[in-house]
Amino acid sequence: MKYRMSILLLLLITLPSLGQDIKVNAKLDTTRILIGDQVNLWFMLEHPEGLKVDFPTIGDSLAGKIEVLSGSNPDTFSRMNRILKIRQRLLVTSFDTGFYVIPPFKFRYNNSRDSLQTNPLSLEVFGMPVDTTKGITDIKPPYEIKVTLIELLPYIIIGLLIIAIIILYVRYMKKKKLVQSLVEKPEPPQIPAHLIALEQLDELVREKLWQQGKIKLYYSRLTDIIRQYIELRFGVPAMEETTEDIIRDFTRNGHIKEGIRQELKVLLELADLVKFAKWNPVAEENEVSQQGAYDFILRTKPVVNLRKPLENVEQPALEEEGK
């Protein structure tokens, strides 16, 4: 019995001190607003740590004419000596003029058995002053702002610069085309492949390479002249092909006769022996190879048909000349 009385006495002593540690307050940023303006309503709460205090539940309106636009969650902004300071913000407004009293708000604790309430607040909403002596007037038209020359000057300068750039560019292009037309010359007529090859053979003969003992160089130059002629004349990639490939291409396309093809094969094979097998031909073989190159070019060069226009001059010579 004495133990129960001690507990009851302790509770009676603790509860008043606990109520003194809890503080609640509500305030407005201002008590007078213009109709439609918005104002902040703040809830301020202080209580010891470990004590749960419930904030009041707020509806869509206060005092009937004050509307709640939005609200924040309770936020702890201070913690000192085990005392918490919490605040909450409501954004409110009113679209009716008048003087309104916002009733107190209740904060419950101890599992909602006890509560504290804030002080009541007052808010005055007033409208715009209207001069009724002038009667109803029409809506004022928009003001016309005159544009000065100083304001237009940058745009005028930019426009003139753009026009000047366009004129200079057009003149430059015309001058460039005129210069190109004066500088450009008609391309010279393409030299026939057989003329190029014959001139190169003449130069090779004048150098007298095989007479100086330069047999390998002589046959390399000789076969290069023939291979280049074949590429330009017949379109066969002779510079990249072997002797067997060249003869096989001629056999397949039929550009030259069998006799000319066999003579070309003998000439190219002899050159291959000299270049790759170190064959040393006699002077007579060198002269025969030289004459064989001339004969191959002269017997396969295009034939000029005087009865047809000049644009149709080149025709493949499939027949052997001199027969």
165, part of any domain: no
pLDDT tens by residue, 185-218: 556 668 888 999 999 999 989 998 888 988 889 9
Tell me how far apart the alpha carbons of residues 254 and 231 are, in angstroms, rounded to a whole number. 15
What's the rounded Cα separation, in Å, for the pair 41 and 26? 7
Average pLDDT value for residue range 78-93: 86
Mark whether 38 and 113 lie in a shared domain: yes
**CA neighbor of 110 nearest in space, from 22, 180, 33:** 22
Residues 110 and 213 in one domain: no
Residue 51 lies in a domain: yes
Residue 99 within any structural domain of the chain:
yes
Residue 321 counted as domain residue: no
Reported as a single tens digit per residue, the pLDDT across 108-160 is 888 777 888 888 998 899 887 776 676 677 777 787 788 888 888 888 999 99
Same domain, 44 and 121: yes
Radius of gyration of the chain, Cα coordinates, nearest whole angstrom: 56
The reported pLDDT for the residue numbered 6 is: 41
pLDDT-derived band of residue 7, with 50, 70 and 90 as boundaries? Answer: very low
Q: Is the pTM of this model over 0.95?
A: no
pLDDT tier at 14, thresholds 50, 70, 90: very low
Residue 205: inside a domain, yes or no? yes
Residues 209 and 305 in one domain: yes
Pair 198, 295 in one domain: yes
Looking at 109, 128, 147, which one is the last position of a domain? 128
The last residue of one of the domains, among 113, 128, 143, is: 128
Q: Is residue 231 part of a domain?
A: yes
| Range(s) of the domain holding residue 50 | 20-128
In a domain, 181, yes or no: no
The conformation of residue 312, written as its DSSP 8-state character, comes to G
pLDDT for residue 304: 66
235 to 190, 191, 240: CA distances (angstroms): 16, 16, 12
Q: Residue 84's pLDDT band (boundaries 50, 70, 90)?
A: confident
Q: How many domains does the chain have?
A: 2
Residue 271 in domain: yes
Same domain flag for 303 and 198: yes
Q: 303 and 220 in one domain?
A: yes
What pLDDT, on a 0 to 100 scale, did the predictor assign at position 36?
87
When mean pLDDT is compared across 58-72, 168-182, 261-275, the lowest value belongs to 168-182
Whether the Cβ atoms of residue 271 and residue 249 lie closer than 8 Å to each other: no
Domain boundary among 128, 144, 162: 128
Q: Is the pLDDT of residue 179 over 70?
A: yes
- Residue 305: per-residue pLDDT: 62
Residues 307 and 229 in one domain: yes
Contacts of residues 249-258 at CB distance under 8 Å and 24 or more positions apart, as own/partner, are 254/318, 255/300, 255/316, 255/318, 256/300, 256/318, 257/318, 257/319, 257/320
Q: What is the pLDDT of residue 163?
A: 94
What CATH code is carried by the domain that includes residue 25?
A: 2.60.40.10
More confident residue, 14 or 28: 28
Q: Which pair of structure tokens corresponds to residue 32?
A: 């007078």
Taking only the tens place, the pLDDT of each residue in 245-286 is 888 988 888 888 888 889 998 999 988 888 888 888 888 888
